Structure 1
Amino acid sequence: MIRYTIFFLAIFLYSCQQSQSINKKCEEQIVVCFDHYQPKPYKTPGGSKHIPMPKVLYTDNTEVLREYMPEADFDTITLQLPEHFKELALNYRDFEFIYYPLMQGDTITISMDSLDYPILSSKHHPERNRIYNMNYELRKGRTHSGLEAKTCLGSDWVRIAQNIDVIRANNWTSLLMNYCPLDSLQSMFNSYKTAYTDTINLFKQQQIISDKIYNHYQYLLALKDYESRRMLNEDTAFYRRMEAGISDEYASYPSYHEYLDYYLWFTNQHIPTIRKSQGGSKDWCQTFDELSAKPFQPKSMQILLERCIKEISENFSAQDVNHYLDKYLQITQDTTLYNNIKGQYNLSADANQLLLEDIQGKTTNLSLLLKKHKGKVIYVDFWASWCVPCREEMTPSAKLRESYKGKDVVFVYLAYNDTKDSWKKAVKQEGMAEIENNFIITNSKNSKTLEAIKLELIPRYIIFDKQGSLVEMNAPRPSDEQATIIINKYLKQ
């Protein structure tokens, strides 16, 4: 009898240990369920839009930033966390990210309201819903064009407000529809900040959030403040104020990557050659050199230099890219990005050809394409998934293509300085998956063909005649009525 008692006691203790282990494991993760979470593309009242951004961001166990897009009506991800909360980022309308410190051991369902704003619901702790949806309540009455005031203050709405007299004089309707006075935007944002601070103070007083989550909410408010300062800030040394907040301690937060983006923005305002250059893209090499001399911790340094490398890869020659890739590898020891960039831009490829790959992975080159379509007029569209003006031309391009259906005109789409994943997503979004002559350029960096046509800015359109000769170095874009006139000219020859 004693033997059986000991046996059952052992089983009971083992079961308890297993149960405790399972409970501990559950507490160390968060289950996120997406209920019909599929936000639609958005345009402001004046027609402004952004390139589609990742819908969900989080960091994995190695603190690497991951992107996620729920594909089904009901989808689930499980987040592992080393501390008592995990930050999740949800994209709103491709203009702004909302950051949620989700608490340990929770199961959360994410749906949308009628305006596609994320709504969070806790399965085990419904009392947390008011915390998770804090921003949803605070933004009411404090938005413009459906966006937070800080988003407008950190973007082109500032330029519209500063030039409103010219805009009115020219009756530029679309810009007028997006107009909001700067003092109104600032007032909305100040009201938001006051309400935000009052809310998190109340949560802390009621002891429904920990000190750590309280501090994190303060950090997120500071992040919003940095965004609001970007367009109006004239202090070229402002970046120094942000350097105190650069720490590997925050590397597990998706919001920290945005923090570092703002830091780079203000750093580039400090560099005169970047301030003078359009878009600040011409001297990312100088930015790299300045940053690499600073005493940042390893993870933060890698994130910053990785951004520089990506910009250098898009805007500089193969020689410069190779040079800075070697520098990057020496500083960070990160072979992953090094190999990815080498592969993405095919830096060791034959420079005498323009190498192409279609959506199925089949390869060809421009010379073979011209031979294949000899006897037809060829209209070539250089574009990229990240290029807003390029993508705005896709609808007019589809109409132009349809108007020449059955005629000796071939439309060729060549993605320039793009990644295969981003290109494929954009192809699907633009309804181009079934187009035969749709390629990504696999040696954008070292092709002498691109040097010969001096391809620096996109969108860019060129035309080859029926003999395969380049006859239009800068053809009209599809939305231009002249495009039809010029194509018809070569079609009649």
Structure 2
Amino acid sequence: MIKNYLFALSTLLILTLFSCKKENEKMVTEIPKPNKIVLISVNAPEKYVHVMKQDSVGKKLKDSLGPKAKWNNNGFTYLDYMNNVQTWRPKANVLDTITIETHNDYLELSTNNFFTAIKETFLVKNGDTVIFNYEHDIPKAKITNREVSDIELNYNSYRLKNLFNNKYTSHYLIIANILFLENIQDYEQKSIDYYNQAKLDFTKEIKLLDSLKSNKLISQTNYRYRKDALNMLMEQHKNIKNIKKWVEQNKSLRDKETIEHVFGFNLSETDSLMKFSFFRDYLNNISQYELNFIEENNGGSGGSYIDSRIRFDSIIKDKRFNQTAKNFLLFDAYNGIGQNFKVKDKEEYFKKLQENTTSIEKLDKLKEDYKLDFSKSNELVLTTLKNDTLTYRNLLENNKGKWLYMDFWASWCAPCRKAMPESNKLKKEFKEKNIEFIYLSLNDKKENWKKAIVVEGISTSQNYFIENGKVSKVIEDLGIKSIPHYLIYNPKGELVNGFANRPGEGAREELNNLISKN
């Protein structure tokens, strides 16, 4: 009996010790990885001026007569842990920091390099602290918590110097060659020439990547990442209309020089690939479904776009895409609907979006950003500087008996702001006449609107902030598709010109003619 008891006791002790050991092992293996990445930006530029015809990356000429472009939106784009695309824009000329929560092994940070028109990308690990300094206004990364090859971390700068001598790349010239042409008729042939050069440069870069990997200057993960990004870049080139046509015409040629390789991703790996911007670009490309472009001209300004309603419906039915891909693509398609289609389409497809996405947080943000309250679509809701609310109908009624010169503008709209000095002159000239100058801010941010009113010297005029411009049928009925847009009403409250002349561009003569006839 005692013998059996001792045996049972010893067995229990062994089992207990073994169990404790397994539990300890389990505890060790289940310690979660760091789930944050810290980014530190040192003296980010606020904006810089780039001279288009200057072909040396980062070099700026103050006395150049070439066309110039100001770049204001420096920032790092990444995919957060909820699969939402986010952008961090560091504060200018100071030390700025952000902590990003992540549950993946790697996080990709991308920023637009204005000098090359190709994204500058950095692949960092979960738990990293990354410091960004700026050379020629271009970010250069350094990781403080582990040793990593500078070539691997700052690969974009390395390739630009070693393959392209810090000059515009063939890839960039394909995208932007229209900027460099004096004769627009050369556009198609130049595109083909640049594309053929890009294929040669692609081969050189693949050899460079192979060499870096062989010499252990970049990791296997980074090697595959850079190679996939390069392949995706070539696929984007082949989707440009005239290049695509040329590739199709040359399909019959079968020698090694002319065979075009088709690149793609295994969509069963969507969840792990989604963090990479080139994969998101790939999803966007294959979900365009070769839809024809709709051309639009709005009184001198316009654009082209695909029918995003067809794209939206096609994405829902496309069996290639899992829910993660659909969450990403449906929001992108809805943005196209929001920008280019009528309120009834926005309302219909927002309901479809609610039914077909699992990204509730993103849905709420979209609703907030676009102010998607369709219950007030028949009105144009306005707010005054004193935060009083009225409708556009109320505004017209309140100003009956006067001529009205309506200016639809926004603080971010450069042509709108450029016209303001002339508008102020016009206002002074017509001071003794029965006319009211009214300014309505469309698709703006309220704090920016208030600041711009003071800067432009229009604070003594009637100023209104449009609260529901994206979902108001009134905007559609008035035919406002771009800003600045000007309207003239007579004292009876009747619209006499829905496309009035701009200040400094015929508005004075037009108003004088209308007022003198009545």
Pair in the same fold by TM > 0.5: yes
Give the structure 1 partner of residue 89 of structure 2: 69
Of residues 382, 385, 394, the one that matches 1:368 is 394
Give the structure 1 partner of residue 312 of structure 2: 288
Q: CA RMSD in A?
A: 4.3
Give the structure 2 partner of residue 275 of structure 1: 293
Q: Does 1:472 align with 2:497?
A: yes
Q: Does 1:304 align with 2:297?
A: no
Post-superposition offset of 1:98: 1.8
Q: Does 1:234 align with 2:244?
A: yes
The Cα offsets for residues 317-351 of structure 1, whole Å up to 9 and x where unpaired, read as 33322222222222224444545555534443334
Give the structure 1 partner of residue 279 of structure 2: 256
Determine if contact 1:371/1:468 at 8 Å carries over to the other structure. yes
Partners of 2:42 and 2:276 in 1: how far apart? Answer: 24
Determine if contact 1:90/1:99 at 8 Å carries over to the other structure. yes
Change (3 A) 1:323 1:54: farther
Name the SS for the 1:380 alignment partner. Answer: strand
Determine if contact 2:42/2:133 at 8 Å carries over to the other structure. yes
Partners of 1:184 and 1:234 in 2: how far apart? Answer: 13
Partners of 1:222 and 1:340 in 2: how far apart? Answer: 33
Of residues 193, 198, 220, the one that matches 2:229 is 220
Of residues 37, 47, 51, the one that matches 2:44 is 37
The Cα offsets for residues 217-270 of structure 1, whole Å up to 9 and x where unpaired, read as 1122123223333433436999x9647457222122344333333334xx24x2
Partners of 2:171 and 2:312 in 1: how far apart? Answer: 28
Post-superposition offset of 1:484: 3.5
Post-superposition offset of 1:357: 3.8
Q: Does 1:410 align with 2:437?
A: yes
Partners of 2:33 and 2:265 in 1: how far apart? Answer: 37
> Partner letter of residue 229 of structure 1?
K
**Alignment gaps of 5+ in structure 1:** 1-16, 168-178
Post-superposition offset of 1:101: 0.5
1:345-356, aligned counterparts within 5 Å? 345-356=371-382
Post-superposition offset of 1:130: 2.7
Name the SS for the 1:481 alignment partner. Answer: coil
Aligned residues with identical type, % of pairs: 19
The Cα offsets for residues 272-302 of structure 1, whole Å up to 9 and x where unpaired, read as xx33545553521111122211111111111
> Partner letter of residue 262 of structure 1?
N
Partners of 2:151 and 2:470 in 1: how far apart? Answer: 50
Determine if contact 2:338/2:346 at 8 Å carries over to the other structure. yes
| Matched positions, count | 444
Change (3 A) 1:433 1:201: farther
Partners of 1:430 and 1:137 in 2: how far apart? Answer: 46
Name the SS for the 2:419 alignment partner. Answer: helix
Change (3 A) 1:275 1:262: same
Of residues 201, 211, 214, the one that matches 1:205 is 214
Change (3 A) 1:29 1:47: same
Q: Does 1:86 align with 2:110?
A: no
Give the structure 2 partner of residue 108 of structure 1: 130
Give the structure 1 partner of residue 421 of structure 2: 399
Q: What TM-score does the superposition give when structure 1 sets the normalisation length?
A: 0.74
Change (3 A) 1:433 1:36: farther
1:311-350, aligned counterparts within 5 Å? 311-342=336-367, 344-350=370-376
Name the SS for the 1:220 alignment partner. Answer: helix
Name the SS for the 2:284 alignment partner. Answer: helix
Q: Does 1:55 align with 2:75?
A: yes
Determine if contact 2:421/2:456 at 8 Å carries over to the other structure. no
Q: Does 1:247 align with 2:270?
A: yes
Name the SS for the 1:70 alignment partner. Answer: coil
Q: What TM-score does the superposition give when structure 2 sets the normalisation length?
A: 0.71
Determine if contact 1:313/1:341 at 8 Å carries over to the other structure. no
Partners of 1:254 and 1:363 in 2: how far apart? Answer: 42
Partners of 2:388 and 2:508 in 1: how far apart? Answer: 31
